[in-house]
Amino acid sequence: MQSQGLPGFRDFYPDDAALRNHIFAAWRDVARRYGFQEYDGPPLEPLELYVKKSGAEIVGQLYTFEDRGGRSVAFRPEMTPTLARMVAARGRALKKPIRWFSLPQLMRYERPQRGRLREHFQLNMDIIGEPGPLADAELIAAAIDITRKLGLGPADVRARISDRRAVRALVDALGLSDAQVPIAFQYIDKIERESRATLIDGLADSAGISSDTAEQVLDLGDIRGLEGALAALDEVPGGAEAGEPLRHCVAALDALGMSEYVDIELCVVRGLAYYTGIVFELFDAHKALRAICGGGRYDGLLAALGGTDLPAAGFGMGDVVLGELVTEAGARPSAQVGLDAFLVAVTGEDVPHVLQLARQLRDRGLRIEYALKQQSIAKQLKLAASRPAKRAVVIGPDERAHSEVVVRDLESGKEQRVAVDSLLQGYSWS
Ligand code: HAM
């Protein structure tokens, strides 16, 4: 029987690794352009870090076990609790606002399907120490810029934005108790995935909310557009104030040139328990896949972990959905290395000279390969063409006698004799 990998875990053959590196390069490039510094944490954390902070949905998906020392541990399903722990430990010493990014591999025991696996890599970008909406706008703009960098435009990607403070003001006006509010949020989050009747029943069963009030709760989730949201907020106590950060954030995104991508949709509240303000998701325009990225403001988390009370916001962007979209757009990169030269030995005696030249050229940063066993010139040239190499550099007894090589352009077939010295200095390799 052939052994197989686990369901939901990937093998990265060179083509897949090339796509992954392409996505990582876009992540790192945009994160640096926005002035973010890279950090990392451990892949394994104490189980309680997630039990306390992530919320029921993620806790139900943990890979968790007891280590040999009897500690309950979990493989990280998300990066935010680790980041909050790291910042909480050094809070005072770090210059604010902190702008950090990371590329962790995460594991969640989910049902594998297109765009959803049991491991994924996730770019995390977070700003800590800034409560104002310019920070939220900065993060949303960075997320959009990554998709732009990968060749996707506003017809491919939408940024859906809401604010839990605004939704909270609207829900409060319906007279819900403090205990009912988080449950109402959970159901608003499900509006697009489940039928209205199921949601109304769920609100009654889990929070004792009457069907009339449940209808009103779900109506809030249908509000779209900044104007619509602000108009609804104007009708409720504290609503105008609660809508201010969202209004500022949208204006900043406009000034940053991102308004073409932006949709305000109050049904976006996000599943994680720690969000407190603006929340957002990037989706493919057809909503055929799970979110490209999700994030928001989580002002209470650092204090809850026993650290300095610092405001924070950030997002996570997975490689799985992005990879699907890049593939659909026909923008997958090639895994081929592309050689500057393939060195060809005419006889067995030429091999040590090929090796010596390979070393000298590689030291100059050139991409060089040669046959790893003695072969006919024809076979070596065939291997060179398949790599592909731009040129073959042929070394035989006659060439050696004159301290020369024959350089054959593998595209045009043109050959020229070049002195070894000038090959190492002054030769145009482009
Ligand atoms: P999240 O919404 O759970 O947020 O995940 C963020 C993104 O990670 C998703 O939009 C998706 O692209 C990707 N992702 C999550 N689970 C999977 C999966 N099973 N398979 C493939 N991709 C997946 C968080 O994790 C928050 N900690 C993000 C954050 C950072 N909030 C503030 N800072």
Q: Supply the CATH number for residue 262's domain.
A: 3.30.930.10
Residue 175: inside a domain, yes or no? yes
Question: Which ligand 1 atom is nearest residue 322's CA?
Answer: 12
Phi, psi at residue 110, to the nearest 5°?
-110, 170
According to the 3-state scheme, what is the secondary structure of 61-126? Answer: CCCEEECCCCCEEEECCCCHHHHHHHHHHHHHHCCCCEEEEECCEEECCCCCECCECCEEEEEEEE
Q: Among 274, 293, 328, give the residue marking a domain's end.
A: 328
- SS3 category, 370: strand
In-domain check, residue 387: yes
294 CA from centroid of ligand 1 (Å): 6
pTM, 2 dp? 0.92
137/162 same-domain check: yes
Residue 109 lies in a domain: yes
Domains of the chain: total: 2
Q: Is residue 3 part of a domain?
A: no
For residue 430, being part of any structural domain is answered with no
The neighbour count for residue 256, using CB atoms within 10 Å, is 16
Distance from the alpha carbon of residue 82 to the mean position of ligand 1, in angstroms: 14
Read off the pLDDT of residues 272-298 as tens digits, 9 standing for 90 and up. 778 999 999 999 998 888 899 999 999
| Separation CA 96–CA 43 (nearest Å) | 26
Same domain, 366 and 237: no
Ligand 1 mutation target, pool 110, 122, 160, 301, most atoms within 8 A of CB? 122
Q: Taking a C-beta distance cutoff of 8 angstroms, is the pair 181, 206 a contact?
A: no
Cα-to-centroid distance, 289 and ligand 1 (Å): 13
> Is 334 contained in some domain?
no
Tell me whether strands 278-284 and 293-297 are parallel, antiparallel or unpaired.
antiparallel
Rounded distance, CA 277 to CA 358, Å? Answer: 58
Q: How far is CA 114 from CA 189, 291, 322, in A?
A: 21, 12, 12
Residue with the nearest Cα to atom 18 of ligand 1?
A: 116
Claim to verify: residue 126 and residue 267 sit in the same structural domain: yes
Residue pair 137/253 in contact (Cβ under 8 Å)? The answer is yes
Give the DSSP H or E segment for 130. none
Alpha helices in 151-261 (DSSP H): 164-172, 180-189, 196-207, 211-221, 226-234, 239-255
Domain-terminating residue out of 273, 298, 328: 328
Question: Does 72 share its domain with 159?
Answer: yes
| 369 and 247 share one domain | no
Alpha carbon of 8 to ligand 1 centroid (Å)? 15
CB-CB contact of 173 with 237 (8 Å): yes
Regarding whether 40 and 149 lie in a shared domain, the answer is yes
Which pLDDT value is given to residue 336? Answer: 84
Instruction: With respect to residue 26, please indicate whether it lies within any of the assigned structural domains.
Output: yes
Q: Relative to the CA of 122, which ligand 1 atom is closest? A: 8
Looking up residue 386, the CATH number of its domain turns out to be: 3.40.50.800
Cα 135 to ligand 1 centre (Å): 19
Instruction: List Cβ neighbours of 425 (8 Å cut-off, separation of 6 or more).
Output: none
Q: CA 219 to CA 416: how far, in whole Å?
A: 76
Does 238 share its domain with 358?
no
Which of 290, 306, 328 is a domain's end point? 328
Nearest CA to ligand 1 atom 1: 294
Same domain, 67 and 195: yes
Q: Say if residue 311 is in the same domain as residue 420.
A: no
On whether both 280 and 137 belong to a single domain, the answer is: yes
Same domain, 309 and 384: no
159 & 295 share domain? yes
Average pLDDT by consecutive 10-residue portion of the chain (430 residues)?
89 96 98 98 95 77 96 96 91 92 97 95 98 98 97 94 96 93 91 93 93 95 95 96 98 97 94 89 91 95 84 97 93 89 98 98 97 96 96 98 97 96 93
CA 171 – CA 205 distance, rounded (Å): 18
What is the model's pLDDT at position 1?
66
Cβ-based neighbour number of residue 278 at 10 Å: 27
Domain that holds residue 375: 341-425
Run of H or E including 260: none
Q: Is residue 51 part of a domain?
A: yes
Nearest CA to ligand 1 atom 15: 318
Q: Which residues line ligand 1 (CB under 6 A)?
A: 78-80, 108, 110, 116-117, 120, 122, 124, 126, 272, 290-295, 298, 314-318, 320-321
> How far, in Å, is the centroid of ligand 1 from the Cα of 379?
49
* Ligand 1, pocket-test mutation among 120, 138, 158, 289, most atoms within 8 A of CB: 120
CA dihedral 294, 25, 30, 75 (to 10 degrees): 40
